[in-house]
Structure 1
Amino acid sequence: MLRTVTSHLSLDVRSPLEIELLVAVADGAYDRSELLSVRHEDGPLDVVEIKLPHGARMHRVYAPMGRVVVDYHATVTGQADLPPIDDVDIVDYRRPSRYADSDRLLAFSRDQFRGLEGKHLLDAVVGWVTNHVTYLSGSSLPTDGATDTLLKRRGVCRDFAHLVVALLRACDVPARLTSVYAPGLKPMDFHAVAEAYIGGAWHVVDATGMAPRESLVRIATGRDATDTAFISWYGGSLYVKAMTVTATMQGELPADDGTELVALR
């Protein structure tokens, strides 16, 4: 399986600051060739790589005022080995978090999915979100959490994923959010999906159904968008002037009707 991904960010830095980027493909057993370039209008900037859980790699840059351009290109061949199961993750990913506020959804989730467990529960949660939430670009705020999405019944991929994660956690199923490159996604962008711990393994689910899960390439994994945002900045201000993301796969995209258990590899 050969997948090629790119991202381009044009940033207007309005005062000196620290930028944290989560755009690089996560470490894995596959073969990977890549290039990350971060340039200020006056020349290249130094980049420091920071290792995060689940193979994620954050890149930290100190940027002066002016235009900063980020370009990332990677080619991934093969599939990553499935990571070992970490007991700490099982504990952490059952707890409520900033955007997956499962504690506020306990009564709703346990009433809606009463008596279900395992794959039946997973299918029911994903199906409910798919059938009751409308995908609509620009319909949510960056501060919206799962409860907001449940009430508004609309959102984008991160809102769908947050709601799936929160509903599963409310039923005591460990669940987490993962940012990915998604071949086949239309419109193309960074994408967010959920992973659920079912039957002793992590399985990826996507209530938007917008890209085949076997084609996805992991970027970062965590409690919610707090841990997986493609860009964060501290100590100053910036404006994202332009962003372009691409993700392609050699050959035909795999079929995915959403009914099978799939591991993100």
Structure 2
Amino acid sequence: MHRDMSAHLSLDVTSPATLAFELAVSTQVAARESLRITLDGTPIEAKEVPDHHGTRLHVVRAEVGRLVLDYSASIDGRAVPVTSDEADLLRYLRPSRYCESDTLGPTAYAEFAGLHGFDLLAAVSSWVGSRLSYVPGSSLPTDGAVQTLLARKGVCRDYAHLVITLLRALDVPARLVSVYAPGLSPMDFHAVAEANLDGQWYVVDATTLAPRSTLVRIATGRDASDTAFLNVHHGYANLTELEVTAVADVLPNDDVRDLVTIG
């Protein structure tokens, strides 16, 4: 499988700021890529900072002006499946900012008692997908799984947060992955859940908006607080343009009954 992806961002930096971007593909993926960042047309350097599971942050200290970032990557083949150590598995069982598994524990036990393994993943994915409506702009960046369940609507990160929360409440390690998603419509950065069964991480995407086998890993973490494509620190910047592309030479059918890894 051949996949091409790109991201174009433009920001107005209104006060000197530190910008941390998470939009380059994970180091677990063998990619040919380019990254160019300019401030008022002048190239500036980004410092690459490694994070968990091959996540790469590109950190820029920008003065006031118009900052433009262009990133592209091409990939042939698939990545090696991700493994985790015991500390990872424990980390992804705990409640986190957007995944309040302690609060939704009674809900999880009431709905999914007696289910295990693949049957549990399929049931949680179906339950979340049938109870939420995908409505762009319907949620706030501060909404967690509890608010999403109450509102019964959201976008991909909200679906993923609710899936992760329910699985953690049932003692299944689960985490959030930001991805490039060929076949996604409308095109954007995408967020999915990963759940660990018998030492292997499998994709759970209750939105069913893109074939899981085409996904390309960007960032991996507890929830969206670890995987946002942009964080602004020590200053102010407004995002004025965002364009994402992701295409694959093959868009396979995605059978929800299959166990799929991100590659």
Same fold (TM over 0.5): yes
SS across alignment from 1:104: coil
Q: Which whole-Å deviations, capped at 9, do the CAs of 1:180-227 have from their partners, x for residues lacking one? A: 000000000000000001133110110000000000000000000000
Q: How does 1:106-255 map to 2 (within 5 A)?
A: 106-250=105-249, 252-255=250-253
Shift of 1:83: 2.5
How far the C-alpha of 1:107 sits from its partner, in A, is: 0.5
Name the residue aligned to 1:53: 52
The answer for unaligned runs of 5 or more in structure 2 is none
- The one-letter code sitting in structure 1 at the alignment partner of 2:81 is L
Q: CA RMSD in A?
A: 0.8
Secondary structure of 1:110's aligned partner: helix
Three-state SS of the structure 2 residue aligned to 1:60 is strand
State percent identity of aligned pairs: 51
Structure 1 residue 86: Cα displacement = 1.3
CA positional deviation for 1:257: 2.5
Runs of 4+ in 1 over 3 A off after TM superposition: none
Rounded Cα–Cα distance in structure 1 between residues aligned with 2:255 and 2:116? 21
Cα distance in 2 for partners of 1:22, 1:219 equals 7
Consecutive unaligned residues in structure 1, runs of 5 or more: none
SS in 2 for 1:14: strand
Shift of 1:45: 1.2
Residue 261 of structure 1 deviates from its aligned partner by 0.3
- DSSP 3-state at the match of 2:102: helix
SS of the equivalent of 2:15 reads coil
Q: Which residue of 2 aligns with 1:13?
A: 13
Opposite residue 263 of structure 1, the aligned amino acid is T
**Cα pair 2:83 2:199 within 8 Å, conserved:** no
Query: How many residues are treated as equivalent by the alignment?
Result: 263
The one-letter code sitting in structure 2 at the alignment partner of 1:110 is Y
Residue of structure 2 aligned with 1:256, choices 231, 254, 257: 254
Preserved CA contact (<8 Å) 2:46 2:60: yes
> Per-residue deviation at 1:42?
4.8
Q: Is the 8 A contact 2:82 2:200 kept in 1?
A: no
Structure 2 residue identity aligned to 1:12: D
**TM-score calculated relative to the size of structure 2:** 0.98
